[in-house]
Amino acid sequence: MDQASIDALRAAPVAAFGHWINGASVPASDGQAMEVQSPIDGTVLTTVARGTRADMDAAIAAARATFEDGRWASQAPAARKKVLMRWADLIDAHALELAVLGVRDNGTEISMALKAEPGSAANTIRYYAEALDKVYGEVAPTAGDVLGLIHKEPVGVVGAIIPWNFPLMIGAWKLGPALAMGNSVVVKPAETASLSLLRMVELAYEAGLPPGVLNAVTGEGAIVGEAMGLSIDVDVLVFTGSGTTGRRLLDYAARSNMKRVYLELGGKSPNIVFADTPDLDNAAKVTAAGIFRNAGQVCVAGSRLLVEASIHDDFVSAVARHAEAMRVGDPLSLDTAIGAVNSAPQLQQNLDFVATARAEGGQVVTGGKQVRKETGGFYMAPTIVTGVAPGATLAQREVFGPVLAVTPFDAEGEAVRLANGTIYGLAGAVWTSNLSRAHRMVRAVRTGVMHVNTYGGADGTVPLGGVGQSGNGSDKSLHALEKYINLKTAWIKL
């Protein structure tokens, strides 16, 4: 992965993308397309189909028909495994192309995209391919005159709505287990990051996935996403994105067929640093990376630093030093640490949060402003705000940008109260050299994942899911399979 190969790919024109319905790339039913603006420099890269409700219905009908005819669900597990393994290999073989295409679309720094996007997607698909013939049904411990069997069946049609921050990684978290269990799928990429996901779907067909088993419809969430949510032919809806949209999806389900809805929503994850942290400078460096990589556009980002008062000033200075050393730059440069903010509205929203934080008494220690304006793209300096009161907007609301809110604490109990004092519960960390305290904190903080003496990096072997208003259900690990199966009991009188 050298700079020259990246530069060769960055210059290539990008063809217009259509939907993937029934194994074919098709335009919107009314011929409409939407422009894809690159956050790197604000230029228009290409267009994607602006989907209509009819397009979504056609994709769902294709998925339903393929599920009913069993072209995928009824294949022997070994055959399905082979296709998914081939898909993972093709993703690896096209990793650089996919990563560069994705970065041109969403602005993530390429060093991060290369780690977190195609490679991780391929690993996820491989993981579920390997798992699919190890999922057994059960024999229930009944009385001797009956036989109780518990079958694990695919649910049917899965709808997946994907965000723009990590379209391949998060896409694979849904598509991998859904397809492995024999379901047919319709995926709706985000408006501002659909290209690499569409290409990944194309590779699935190249790998031998039967036509119609995986479909992709692009367009506006409020149109095609809503049509998916309201469809009576979608059995399970899986989503990563904002709480506002998550709430809508629950409403769509209630108004249609009461489909199961699994939500992975936002967070305001507490990164809790005690004075007895073994290597404070390393903690400061990881803290900076844990909020500022991908310009803070990471659902598990450690966006609240809770730091023991006795080390507050020194630790904040160290985090600021590391933040300032992270180069905000061209997302396609291998030495860029922080790429672009995904869109102009997102950047404005980040800046508005900083203005509100100031108005509510916070002090901006570093950053707080737009940078690289001359590029035409959307960039923001990593920003640290101290003196953030527990009830302040910046302590309570997810920014989804490179903004760290700092609040001091004096005692462990206070740290727990602060950590648990939001509507969210997605991720968090505790830094300490006291083993008992580490375990106490893991238990006491209400989140889906707690890191100890690190931040981020949990791999595919462990689940990721939120509590509270961070969502329900888990991505990753074997636990994710539960979302994509139905349990059926056979009660047999002997």
Assess contact for 150 and 487: CB atoms under 8 A. yes
Q: Give the strands of the sheet with 270-273, arranged side by side.
A: 363-366, 383-386, 403-409, 304-308, 270-273, 427-431, 449-452
Assess contact for 399 and 353: CB atoms under 8 A. yes
**Counts of helices then strands in the chain (DSSP H, E):** 16, 21
Smallest gap, in angstroms, from Cβ of residue 196 to ligand ADP? Answer: 14
Assess contact for 406 and 307: CB atoms under 8 A. yes
Q: Which CB, 171 or 270, lies closer to ligand ADP?
A: 171
Interface with ligand ADP by CB under 6 A: which residues? 161-163, 188, 190-191, 221-222, 225-226, 229, 241-242, 245, 248
Helix (H) or strand (E) holding 138: strand 138-139
Q: Which CB, 163 or 368, lies closer to ligand ADP?
A: 163
Residues in the chain: 494
Smallest gap, in angstroms, from Cβ of residue 5 to ligand ADP? Answer: 30
Tell me 472's DSSP state. Answer: S
Smallest gap, in angstroms, from Cβ of residue 160 to ligand ADP? Answer: 9
Active site residue 109: no
Selecting among 109, 299, 398, 412, the annotated active-site residue is 299
Active site residue 299: yes
Q: 3-class DSSP state for residue 18? A: coil
Pair type for strands 24-26 and 33-37: unpaired
Q: Which residue has the tokens 């992975």?
A: 264
Q: 3-class DSSP state for residue 174? A: helix
Q: Which residue has the tokens 């013939």?
A: 133
Q: Which CB, 116 or 207, lies closer to ligand ADP?
A: 116
Q: Which CB, 245 or 447, lies closer to ligand ADP?
A: 245
Smallest gap, in angstroms, from Cβ of residue 241 to ligand ADP? Answer: 3
Three state DSSP letters for 29-45: CCCCEEEEECCCCCCEE
Assess contact for 455 and 286: CB atoms under 8 A. yes
Smallest gap, in angstroms, from Cβ of residue 220 to ligand ADP? Answer: 7
Q: Which CB, 229 or 290, lies closer to ligand ADP?
A: 229
Angle at the Cα of 110 (from 108 to 113), degrees rounded to 5? 70
Assess contact for 406 and 302: CB atoms under 8 A. no
Smallest gap, in angstroms, from Cβ of residue 249 to ligand ADP? Answer: 6
Q: Which CB, 159 or 329, lies closer to ligand ADP?
A: 159
Helix (H) or strand (E) holding 403: strand 403-409
Q: How far apart are CA 136 and CA 132, in angstroms?
A: 9
Q: Which CB, 101 or 162, lies closer to ligand ADP?
A: 162
Tell me 236's DSSP state. Answer: E
- Give the number of other CB atoms < 10 A from CB of residue 8: 12
**Nearest alpha-carbon partner for 46 in 193, 261, 185:** 193
Selecting among 264, 308, 398, 412, the annotated active-site residue is 264
Q: Which CB, 33 or 149, lies closer to ligand ADP?
A: 33
Smallest gap, in angstroms, from Cβ of residue 434 to ligand ADP? Answer: 37
- Give the number of other CB atoms < 10 A from CB of residue 341: 29
Smallest gap, in angstroms, from Cβ of residue 265 to ligand ADP? Answer: 8
The residues that are catalytic are 264, 299
